[in-house]
Amino acid sequence: MLLPERLHKGDRVGIIAPAGPPNLMNLQKAISFFEAFDLKVQYGKHIDKVHGYLAGTDEERLCDFHDMVANPDIKAIFFARGGYGTARIAPYINYQLIKENPKIIWGYSDITYLHTAIRKHSNMITFHGPMAASDLGKEELDERTTFHMWKQLFEPAEVAYTENTFGGSYPLKVIQSGEVEGQLVGGNLSLLVSSIGTPFEIDTKGKLLFIEDIGEEPYRIDSMLNQLKLSGKLSEAAGIIIGDFANAESKLPSSFTVEEVFEDYFSHLCCPVMSGFMIGHCLPHFAIPLGVRAKLSTDNKMLVVEPGVR
């Protein structure tokens, strides 16, 4: 796997919107976040475009991405927000260009599709972490999220997530015991499911599969996990890491809870499974590199992740 170079003070980073149109006010506020890291910000040419529910046409969003990848002055690419639209440009991305210009690529949610596509076709590490307008430009952003983000960007060092990572406020739950090492893959559950049957299908064989989502009721999560189960993605995984599932309450008069759905699908797997990680649509939000090797131990309730930068 290709490791991008870590950031240094004074570096220039790019912000683009490959999916939905960002809140421009929040996007402007995010500049102070990067300036606090002593980073310079450059927007994509089409960052303020709106094309229906997309941030510009497919051609405009693709152009911004290729421009940032090819620009040697841009040391990292941050995405403004998720929403929908990344999958529309995935078939037209120049993956060889990414291999020739490895740099930090950072985002989550709809960006999951891009993470999987780049890992599969460019063999490069990418980052699942907070985005510019939807996270970094909001007042609720907390110091713990900022600290862990800084470590991922500037330090080529191993990181560990335990129950003490956020002061013991967010307990981890063991669903299936064990200890395993493997490549860390995954992201947003609905995007992982949508990749099945495409050239960008998620590969879970012998890997640690991470999942998270937002706004999906338990029956919808059940449906998506069933799709992963029937396609062999769950049984092939070496371990399962369950992140945050925000706003997952049911509106039905009778329903399982999301925790009961997890128990149903994961308690009989022959691999370690642990839930409760503050990774996803949440604050605090722990950033992780995807494509690196990691170790999951339920005995220690710990996830140890290799560095995503060199």
- What are the C-alpha distances in Å from 249 to residues 212, 231, 252, 255? 15, 26, 9, 9
140 is catalytic: no
Tell me, rounded to whole angstroms, the distance of Cα 216 from its chain centroid.
17
The two tokens of residue 127 are 């980052």
Q: Could you tell me if residue 289 is left (phi over 0), alpha (psi between -120 and 50 degrees) or otherwise beta? A: beta
Instruction: Give me Rg for the CA atoms of the chain.
Output: 18
**Rounded-to-integer distance, Cα 191 and Cα 102, Å:** 24
End-to-end CA distance of the chain: 12
Long-range contacts of 139-146 (CB under 8 A, 24+ apart): 140/283, 141/33, 141/283, 142/283, 142/284, 144/284, 145/283, 145/284, 145/285, 145/286, 145/287, 146/33
Q: Name which of 202, 171, 166, 198 is nearest 184 in CA terms.
A: 202
Q: Which three-class secondary structure state does DSSP give residue 93? A: coil
121 is catalytic: no
115, 122, 190, 212: which is the annotated catalytic residue?
212
The two tokens of residue 78 are 């941050």
CB-side exposure of 180: number of CA atoms within 13 Å? Answer: 20
Residues in the chain: 310
**Rounded-to-integer distance, Cα 285 and Cα 265, Å:** 25
281, 285, 297, 306: which is the annotated catalytic residue?
281
Q: Is 37 exposed, middle or buried (0-12, 13-18, 19+ CB in 10 A)?
A: middle
The H or E element containing residue 251 is: none
46, 109, 195, 297: which is the annotated catalytic residue?
109
285 is catalytic: no
Catalytic amino acids?
A: 109, 212, 281
